[in-house]
Chain A
Amino acid sequence: MTNSELQTLISSWNSELEFSEAESQFLNITVKPEYLHQLTSQLKSTKETSFDFLFCLTGMDWGADLGVVYHLESTIHKHQIVVKVNTSDRENPTFDSVCDIWYTAEFHEMEVFDFFGIKFNNHPNLKRLFMPKDWVGFPLRKDYVDEVNMVIK
């Protein structure tokens, strides 16, 4: 499916989605956190979209907001799409886990939790994956400061 066909189909599921193709080679959908799990599972299970391959899951600190970016591809139709979800809650950012939809998300969500402190509901084993268990803070956040280990220019 082309990007415009995808947009027509997906926007018919929910009217609150934001679509954008600016400054990116993919079609970007921004979704509200409460609708994330429903949208992603629909993207995988619907025959016309069949996004069965989550090829990248990225944690993001946009400055004010924290978010997650999902890069999806369909191995059947070969089309790609990007789903973004953001929250302004920096104290206790929480999204629904997608690891029941794509198994690989279990590892990637652990990584995002480790570096950004974003929690995922219904994740079976959310723990620090790379950093030591007693590490304080979340290193990839923009407001993270470590005077010992960071070289700041």
Chain B
Amino acid sequence: MTTTTENNAFKSQEYFINMGPQHPATHGVLRLLLTIDGEIIKNIDPDLGYIHRSIEKMCERDSYQQIVHLTDRMDYLSAHINNEAVCLAVENALGLEVPERVKVIRTIIAELTRLASHQLWWGVMGMDVGALTTYFYGFRDREMINDIFEETCGARLTMNYNIPGGLMFDLHPNFVQRVKDFIAHFKTKLPEYDTLLTGNVIFQKRTQGVGILTKEDAISFGTTGPVARASGFSCDVRKHHPYSAYDRVQFNEALFTVGDTFTRYQVRIQEMWESMAIIEQLIDNIPDGEFKTPTNAVIKLPKGEFYQRVETARGELGVFIVSDGKKNPYRLKFRSPGFSNLSALKKMAVGSKLGDLVAIMATLDIVVPDIDR
């Protein structure tokens, strides 16, 4: 370093730092190569693959029943919805009609999954911007949902409750009452979330006007889920391409227009209210009947291409199956919501301060195994 000339120490100079792969704000092993000028971000170059398991290649080897078990290792916070995506794709390809009871149960559990995912996100969102208390609030309420899952199928996170044709077991007798207890509990707790964080001036200053994504960019970057809806891109698969029991429930798509970090936060808070509304409409009306339609022990899809879209907690998950008529797919592609959402990070964060990047990434709600697959 030369210090001969007078103002050399204050010269603008770009330099390069690594964020991750082991950084608490990346929520997993994601590495970002940042070019910085002072505190201003000039460029972001993500380096992925630290948790890549080549799930798509493994799918080409496995039977359709086995593939279901790989999917909840992608976005582990939307495990049930990922399972559902593959099951729906297989059922639609076979022309298999599942019982009404299955559709309703799948929808209730999918919304519980979304609630649990958003609770965890809210906890770590606060933690990322320096409010540690939120973490304990979020995890306290999420525990109740995980307990319901455990009683239903034995697993708390990677559930594997879906199988092609229906569900692995019938509901536990306590299920309905426990879900009702949870809804009654969480309805009193969700306003606390607002009191604690949403209205907090420091939090608002850290998030409002930060990381703005316009509607045109949101569409062009292929963002979906809360990230896109904060920018005004109406993309809720549950509304536009209804599956399972979403065609018979009333709910509002959480849609905002500003597209900054704070509105992405607001979308998820509103989605928690909507998820509770969906569950309340269905929980008293679970139809009686079978919990699965029997399938052949070896499932062979007809020759052709099949695409299934579902709405996970992070956005649109697409399952694209190319079948040549055998018992395993010729090619299976997962269009993961996190991967497309991450592609917009550069657009949102370049030009803002390094500290804001943490807040922006928190509202992208990144789950790295979902990106790496």
Contacts and interface: CB of A to CB of B under 8 A. Distances in A.
A52 B57 contact: no
B52 interface: yes
Interface of B: 45, 47-49, 52, 54, 56-57, 61, 217, 219-224, 233-235, 240, 302-307, 309, 316, 318, 320, 322, 331, 333, 335, 339-340, 342-344, 347, 372
B318 to A, nearest CB: 5
Nearest to B302: A23
A56 B224 CA distance: 12
B305 A24 contact: yes
Contacts of A131: 49, 52
Nearest to A101: B220
Contacts of A42: none
Interface string A25-42: 110000000000000000
A100 to B, nearest CB: 10
B219 A53 contact: yes
Given A130-B372, A139-B57, A140-B57, A52 B219 contact: yes
A33 B343 CA distance: 25
A55 B318 contact: yes
B340 to A, nearest CB: 5
Contacts of A103: 217, 220-222, 343-344, 347
B264 to A, nearest CB: 18
A130 B347 contact: no
A125 interface: yes
A151 B49 contact: no
Contacts of B322: 60
Contacts of A3: none
Given A125-B45, A129-B48, A55 B316 contact: yes
Nearest to A151: B61
Given A23-B303, A129-B48, A131-B52, A102 B318 contact: no
Contacts of B224: 55
Contacts of B342: 107
Interface string A92-115: 000000000011101110010001
A78 B305 contact: no
A71 B320 contact: yes
11 contacts: A52-B220, A53-B235, A55-B309, A71-B307, A104-B222, A107-B340, A129-B47, A130-B49, A131-B52, A150-B57, A151-B61
A152 B303 CA distance: 23
Contacts of A150: 57
Contact of B56 (A25, A56, A132, A140): A140
B220 A104 contact: yes
Contact of A56 (B235, B302, B335): B335
B304, B340, B342: residue with the most chain A Cβ atoms closer than 10 Å: B340
